[in-house]
Amino acid sequence: MARKATSSYGMRKSFEPKPVKNNKSESSEGKKIYTDYHRHRACPIQGCKSVVKRLSNHIRQVHRDIPVGSPFYKKILREARSAKTWKPSEQVKRFRTEEETKIKKCSLAESEDEVEVQTNNTEPSEEEQAIMESAEEAYSSNVEDEINVVSSFRSWLQSADGGRKDKKLSKQHASQLFRILQIIDPSLQFESLFNKTLVRDTFLKQAEAKYTADTVKAYLLSLRHFCSYVVAEKPESVAVDPALVQQIQEKARLWSMSYRKDSKRRYLEKMDNDLSNLVTPKMVNEYERSEAARSAVNLLEQLSGAHSLQVNQSMYTLVRDFILLEITIANAHRSGDRQI
């Protein structure tokens, strides 16, 4: 129905199959070729927005209050026939092509900017937060505050260019970067951070033996952020070729991906450890029969009848732990249930 309506009003090309013509033209056989010279015209009657091909039929069927053959009827037909059907001029066509070219250029520029932003922000914020939280034994100190480059790097992380990271996270990144520099170069030359052989053979070997996979990934993430800082801000004390900075940034990304398997294994080990440490009914029964629980119950019985019983620190701690544990067990819920 929609196809028929759009075709009848000339709004789009007809989807109906056209009959295949023979090789011989119809004019050669003596038949007259029919050509439809009617054009789509807007109805000149005020309030009517119809675009029709045969205006006379439209007036008879829709505007029945207008008598056929009346002066007003003839006037409407004359106005409609005198009005030319609109066709875009060359100037309008040229304007359209220029506008389309501008739109294409803008869309290409926006797509390039999006690709550049995606390449710069290779680590999503949620994943970064998870890596930094799961990093064990993360290095943190106040020695790096005395170095201007590390201090400015920490301030850059808190700015919009660095992702507006919070104070604690930015300080951790700065501390971990300074720790990498201390391990690979005791003289604290920042150019050493962009020596991939030195970082790989010195830092990664020590880190693999000392830290977990998530902690190593956190250190490498700090190095990647520092590379972005050097490319963006170009500090005077770090004179390094930008191509070398991008190279070490890409290497750090690949090194971080290589620890993904160990990180998942560590995650599963922690889950198994947590499951093994869950409180079981057997543990609860053992505690309720223990000497500490019985002593706490006896003290509560004595306190219920006496109002002037002297309580020392050990008695207070014993009763407090017993009450808190009983409340916790009474309000315990299974995994996945909502605690009210």
Residue-level pLDDT, tens digit, the chain, 340 residues: 665 565 555 555 555 555 555 555 545 555 666 666 677 778 888 778 788 878 888 888 888 788 888 888 888 888 877 776 555 455 545 555 666 666 655 555 555 544 444 444 444 455 555 555 555 444 444 444 447 888 888 889 889 988 888 888 888 888 888 888 888 888 888 888 888 888 888 888 888 888 888 888 888 898 889 888 888 888 888 888 888 888 888 888 888 888 888 888 888 888 888 888 887 888 888 888 888 888 888 888 887 766 667 778 888 898 898 888 888 877 766 554 444 4
Nearest partner of 219 among 148, 134, 155, 143, judged by Cα: 134
Helices 291-305 & 313-330, crossing angle to 10 degrees?
100
The angle, 0 to 180 degrees and rounded to 10, between the axes of the packed helices 260-276 and 242-258 is 40
Q: Give the strand pairing for 41-42 and 51-52.
A: antiparallel
Could you tell me if residue 188 is left (phi over 0), alpha (psi between -120 and 50 degrees) or otherwise beta? left
Handedness of CA 124, 253, 157, 235 (dihedral sign): negative
What is the rounded distance in angstroms from the CA atom of residue 90 to the CA atom of residue 217? 62
* Token code pair at residue 11: 């709004």
Q: CA-to-CA distance for 81 and 55, rounded, in angstroms?
A: 9
d(CA 232, CA 226): 10
Partners of 42 in beta bridges = 51
The Cα 271–Cα 339 span in angstroms is: 21
Backbone angles phi, psi at 51, to 5 degrees: -120, 110
pTM (2 d.p.): 0.47
Q: Is 84 helix (H, G, I), strand (E, B) or coil?
A: coil
- The residues near 339 (Cβ < 8 Å, ≥ 6 apart) are 331, 333
How many CB atoms within 10 Å of residue 270?
A: 13
Q: Which amino acid is residue 116, in one-letter code?
A: E
